[in-house]
Amino acid sequence: MRTDSRDRGPRRVVSAVLALGLALATTVGPAAATDVRFFRLQSRSSFLPGTLEGIGIDPLGTLQLADQVERVAAVDEPFLFAAAPHPAGWVVGTGNSGRVLRVDRDGRVEVLFEASEPEVFAVWADGDGTVYAGTSPDGKVYRIRDGAGEVFFEPGETYIWDLARAADGRLLVATGTRGRLYAVDSEGEAELLYDSDDIHLRALKLLPDGDLLVGTAGEGLILRLDPSGRARTLYDAAQPEVIGFTTSPDGGCWAAVLASEASQVNLSDSEKDDAEGGDDEGTEAEVTVVEDDMDDLFAASRPKGFQGARSEILRIEESGRVQSAWSFEEETVYDLLWHRDRLWVATGQEGQLYSFRDGRMVLEKDVDERQIVALLPDAPGPAFATTNAAALYVVSDRSERRGTYTSPALDAGSIARFGTLMWRGETPGGSRLSFSVRSGLSSEPDGTWSDWTPASSGAEIDLPGLPLGRYAQWRVELDADDGRSPLLQEVILSYRQENLAPKFESVSVMEPGEILVPSNYNPNQQVFEPVSPDRHGIFTTLEPSSANQLRMKPVWKTGWRTVRWEADDPNDDELRYGVEFRPERKDARWLPLVKDLDADHYSFDATALPDGVYRFRVTASDDRDNPEGLELTADEVTEAVVIDHGSPRLGRITRDGDRLRVEVSDASSPLRQAEYAIDAEGWQPAEAADGLLDSRSETLSLPAPGDGSLLLLRLVDAAFNSVTFDLSGGAR
């Protein structure tokens, strides 16, 4: 394989994918152990499972250095639920202590107020520094100014979900569990502006014309309210919760809808009628918060059996038309913000910050905290707040100087040898991409894995010293040059599985007389005639059919036996089989029954073998897919099998009153069936003297025949050999 490396002014373009891409594109079906296989990461979806440190993924799935993100402050609270801009920095609402905090730009954290309720789900700050905080589960709105807080508005609701300023300056308060919207003037006098049919009013957004967007939880409705409170439904989402809004300069609006186990709204048993409680005082709602356990707090607006996307981003045009812009199958969206000419999206459960550009979602930052719960405008920004653990960050307009991407653990399926790492990307100026690889046998990288190989910037990196392993992982360090980030579009890692021996799941011999034929053979008459005797051996056989190609059914053929097996190969190699037999005696050796068989069974005429005890051995070989000297075999031996062609024998017959005592026996097999018939009136079971017909020698009790009567006795042994005797003469 060649590498194309050309200098193009200040930018060097490196590509190492050539004919390999064609090989990958044309590979169909499982590869054999000797085939070289490839791990290939070249898209957003394939890169995302890895670990990104200072790395972003652009709309086309290219890795590059991300904007620098600076942690302004760590917040020493169990949970952070809400955040808003403040003239001195930011204000945040927390739990479990119901604290409202102010964070300044130097990272200093100050407690502004501590409510009697445990959770602060909504905060708002006016330009003069006055802060409003909405608490739950005993919903109140507090006004905090001049270093003190007081109850500003108490609606008798359970939750205060969002706060906003109306066009007329009144404070808008969105509540649950009765789904009401209030407008509160500066004196705390409130007007019920809108009483929804839904359970929760979850999100508010004032539009430039004075109208208000309202998102509900329960039915997942997007409503547009005019200043008088008259509502019109714009959209009824499949997801039950509308989590947030933002507007863009072109007059459009964006909304996020959600169906997640990681919501703050528990809709599992909620109904509007139940929440009403029959009075205006509201009802108590139990909110359980367990220290350091987000899973107990964030649970559960995802309906049982819901199959749609976990989160969806919607665009609302000026005309009111709503259409889907993006779906997240796994991520939970917590907030939206239009900033720096793009839509920013905050998510959990992996703490990832995205931006939406040119119709594609771009991963901007992957933080250590599990949830990014709020996005805030800032210069250059945005700023964002996290929980689990609680912190405040600001995005700068400078790129990282260095970043690292670590791939997920790549599973070769079985122990393998790793060959070459190849990549495709760009390294402008003096920027650089440096790769390392390690291997291991555990699915999660741990201390048992090998050390990382020395970092290399070669376009093709050979890995001769990398230990064998089932799993491999590669790491790349991106180093910028004068603000220019290297770009990585594709990485390919070759490997070849070490050959492993085939494995048998089972080997058995079917009941005497049972053979397997294709299920569509002779469906009405279950009679089967084999081909002529094999001129090359002593056995008459059937042409075997692979059970993997045709469904098989058993039919009866007297004197025949069938060996069947289940086997597979860890490397997905094609297997072929041989079957041997030997008598059960010390000096016996294995003799061939069949070779080079593709099927999983073999039927033969067992009358070629004298009566006796035999064993059969099935050998599986992967030699078709491995070079000479590297092929492996496995074999399995059946339990002892009795070959019995002899019919049961009749012994002494004595008379005991009106009964006959008949002694019968079989040389090789237990008796399976004994029945008699008098004057051809039909077969009846013969009674064994000891009560069980289960041994090679038995004494039967039959009615003595009368003069001129016909008494027949039919015996069948375990090998299905059958014989009928005439006992009309009685004792002898």
Phi/psi of residue 548, nearest 5 degrees: -80, -15
Report whether pLDDT(11) > 70. no
Which tops the pLDDT comparison, 282 or 244?
A: 244
Which residue is listed with tokens 């959770």? 119
Residue 526: what pLDDT? Answer: 53
Report whether pLDDT(282) > 60. no
Report whether pLDDT(241) > 80. yes
Q: Which residues contact 291 (CB under 8 A, 6 or more apart)?
A: 78, 96
pLDDT in tens, 292-338: 444 445 556 777 778 888 999 999 988 888 999 999 998 999 999 99
Report whether pLDDT(697) > 90. yes
Residue 44: what pLDDT? Answer: 85
How far is the C-alpha of 240 from the C-alpha of 626, rounded, in Å?
56
Q: Which residues contact 598 (CB under 8 A, 6 or more apart)?
A: 544, 546, 576, 577
**pLDDT above 90: percentage of residues in the chain:** 66
User: At 514, which amino acid appears?
Assistant: E
Q: Which of 58-62, 261-265, 288-292, 328-332 has the highest mean pLDDT?
A: 328-332
**How high is the mean pLDDT of the chain?**
87
What DSSP designation does 240 have?
Answer: S
Cβ burial, residue 208 (10 Å; 0-12/13-18/19+): exposed
Closest by CA to 221, choosing from 211, 232, 212, 210, is: 232
pLDDT in tens, 445-496: 999 999 999 999 999 999 999 999 999 999 999 999 988 999 999 999 999 9
Cα torsion 71, 76, 79, 84: sign: negative
pLDDT in tens, 540-587: 666 655 444 457 788 888 889 999 999 999 888 999 999 999 999 889
- Give, for 25, the enclosing helix (H) or strand (E): helix 18-26
Reported confidence tier of residue 31, pLDDT bands at 50, 70, 90: low
Domains, the chain, ordered by start: 4-53+402-497 (2.60.120), 70-395 (2.130.10.10), 503-643 (2.60.40.10), 649-726 (2.60.40.650)
Token pair recorded at residue 371: 């949830």
pLDDT in tens, 110-128: 999 999 999 999 999 999 9
**pLDDT above 70: percentage of residues in the chain:** 86
Through-space distance between the first and last CA atoms of the chain, rounded to whole angstroms: 92
Report whether pLDDT(439) > 60. yes
C-alpha dist (Å) from residue 278 to 153, 193, 267, 273, 618? 21, 20, 20, 8, 78
Token pair recorded at residue 603: 């039927």
Residue 35: what pLDDT? Answer: 80
The DSSP result for 408-466, as a single string, is PPEEEEEEEEEEEEEEEEEEETT-EEEEEEEEESSSS--TTSPPPPPPB--SEEE-TTS
Cβ burial, residue 556 (10 Å; 0-12/13-18/19+): middle
pLDDT in tens, 40-57: 999 988 998 999 898 988
pLDDT in tens, 601-655: 999 999 999 999 999 999 999 999 888 888 999 999 999 999 999 999 999 999 9
Residue 253: what pLDDT? Answer: 95
Question: What b/e string do you get for 599-622 counting C-beta neighbours within 10 Å, with b at 16 or more?
Answer: bbbbbbbbeebeeeebbbbbbbbb
| 199 in Cβ contact with 217 (< 8 Å) | yes
